[in-house]
């Protein structure tokens, strides 16, 4: 997308606003499928939690993607977006047996990550195929907040609990059709990922009727110029060879599955916000925008670094700014960042705003959530309207009759 296109979108739909480039989503999807082209059966299940707008889900469905979901609501969104139930896998964490049963009744595939629910579900529904999520005890990336395969993680069934797991499967006579792992986000070293994959292959040998092995995702994308990223092409070559060899030894052609989220939509997203005020202190120049962690929390929650450019003054000389929000909390997007000279009213563009950005937005400080726009074939299409005050109070119940002026007087 051109910066002029983004400026026109901000002018047309106001700011702040999220923008997603459909062509970038497509190219990332094709890049991933091409990298694993040597595998006979490949299935990408888009991780809905990364960006769950129904129009984005429809886009993924049109590309041939399946859907990875973590809540019954995401399952329902997927069905509404046109996904067939068998193309949806339900991979929750810590949910009730009742929610898993509800998903199973809708016909989606089930993935269970703890022994308690596995035993309960298997005892009640032995004929419903189940995938099992394994914790390989492998640390991916360098951030414990986004690495979920390490030994202290709440996700998955520990590889040390395999004997217990097998006993449950034997006693319940349940059907295990898949094995799954997810080591976490921002995988830097593919050798670490391949090491975890070997653990998954060893686990898979315990089950004779598998249909697929799901290797999760967590592929790192570049967040700034010169940033490192997962070498998808090298990983595709090495893992494909190993997977094909495993299938031959297993005696059955299995499906190699992934659940990419960030890899598919992160670089496709842009967040546009207007500068309300430029504030000079004794040591810092603040550029305060009409947004905050109510719209984009990743920098504050995970320490994520989003490239920020001034699309209103792209040729201006660079100065150092700390970009902050309007929330009555510390909501710093960037500290002492080199950005083209900023004036009040300029539009700043935050890159890599496609994954885990709008989906983590809130109404904190009673602020409205922004609109979402899809850039498709050179046209800006509104796919979510900006919230208004009616949206903010829609489900609130005003108990004004309970509190009277006389009671207030008595309290004094």
Residue 328 annotated among the catalytic residues of the structure: yes
The answer to whether the CB of 147 falls within 8 A of the CB of 192 is no
3-state secondary structure the chain: CCHHHHHHHHHHHCCCEEEEEHHHHHHHHHHHHHHCCCCCCEEEEEEHHHCCCHHHHHHHHHHCCEEEECCHHHHHHHHHCCCCHHHEEECCCCCCHHHHHHHHHCCCEEEECCHHHHHHHHHHCCCCCEEEEEECCCCCCCCCCCECCCCCCCCCEEHHHHHHHHHHHHHHCCCEEEEECCCECCECCHHHHHHHHHHHHHHHCCCCCCCEEECCCCECCCCCCCCCCCCHHHHHHHHHHHHHHHHHHHCCCCEEEECCCHHHHCCCEEEEEEEEEEEECCCCEEEEECCCCCCCCHHHHCCCCCCEEECCCCCCCEEEEEEECCCCCCCEEEEEEEEECCCCCCEEEEECCCCCCHHHCCCHHHCCCCCEEEEECCEEEEEECCCCHHHHHCCCCCCHHHCCHHHHHHHC
Structure token digits, residue 295: 């719209």
Instruction: Say how far apart CA 110 and CA 211 lie, in whole Å.
Output: 13
Given 131, 247, 328, 349, which residue is catalytic? 328
Torsion of CA 246, 247, 248, 250, to 10 degrees: 80
Catalytic residue numbers, as ranges: 328
């Amino acid at each position: 997308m051109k910066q002029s296109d983004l400026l026109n979108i901000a002018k047309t739909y106001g700011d702040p606003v999220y923008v997603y480039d459909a062509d970038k989503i497509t190219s990332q999807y094709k890049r991933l499928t091409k990298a694993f082209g040597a595998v006979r059966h490949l299935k990408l299940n888009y991780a809905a939690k990364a960006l769950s707008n129904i129009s984005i889900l429809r886009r993924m469905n049109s590309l041939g993607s399946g859907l990875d979901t973590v809540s019954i609501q995401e399952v329902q969104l997927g069905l509404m977006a046109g996904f067939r139930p068998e193309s949806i896998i339900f991979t929750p964490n810590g949910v009730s047996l009742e929610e898993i049963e509800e998903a199973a009744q809708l016909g989606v595939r089930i993935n269970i990550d703890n022994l308690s629910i596995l035993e309960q579900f298997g005892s009640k529904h032995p004929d419903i195929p189940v995938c099992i999520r394994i914790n390989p005890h492998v640390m991916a990336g360098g951030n414990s907040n986004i690495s979920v395969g390490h030994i202290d993680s709440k996700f998955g069934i520990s590889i040390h609990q395999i004997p217990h797991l097998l006993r449950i499967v034997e006693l319940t006579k349940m059907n295990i059709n898949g094995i799954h792992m997810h080591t976490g986000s921002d995988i830097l070293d593919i050798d670490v990922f391949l090491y975890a994959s070997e653990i998954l292959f060893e686990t898979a040998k315990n089950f004779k009727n598998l249909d697929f092995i799901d290797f999760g995702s967590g592929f790192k994308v570049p967040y700034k110029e010169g940033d490192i990223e997962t070498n998808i092409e090298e990983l595709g070559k090495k893992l494909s060879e190993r997977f094909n060899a495993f299938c031959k030894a297993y005696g059955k052609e299995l499906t190699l599955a992934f659940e990419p989220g960030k890899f598919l939509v992160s670089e496709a997203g842009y967040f546009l916000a207007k500068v309300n005020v430029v504030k000079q202190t004794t040591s810092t120049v603040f550029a305060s925008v009409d947004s905050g962690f109510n719209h984009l929390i990743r920098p504050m929650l995970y320490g994520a670094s989003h490239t920020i450019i001034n699309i209103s003054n792209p040729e201006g000389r660079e100065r150092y700014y700390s970009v902050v929000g309007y929330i009555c909390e510390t909501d710093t997007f960037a500290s002492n960042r080199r950005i083209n000279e900023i004036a009040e009213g300029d539009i700043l563009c935050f890159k890599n705003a496609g994954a885990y950005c709008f989906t983590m937005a809130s109404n904190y400080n009673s602020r409205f959530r922004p609109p979402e726009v899809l850039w498709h074939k050179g046209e800006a299409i509104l796919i979510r309207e900006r919230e208004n005050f009616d949206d903010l109070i829609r489900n609130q119940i005003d108990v004004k009759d309970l509190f009277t002026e006389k009671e207030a007087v008595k309290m004094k």
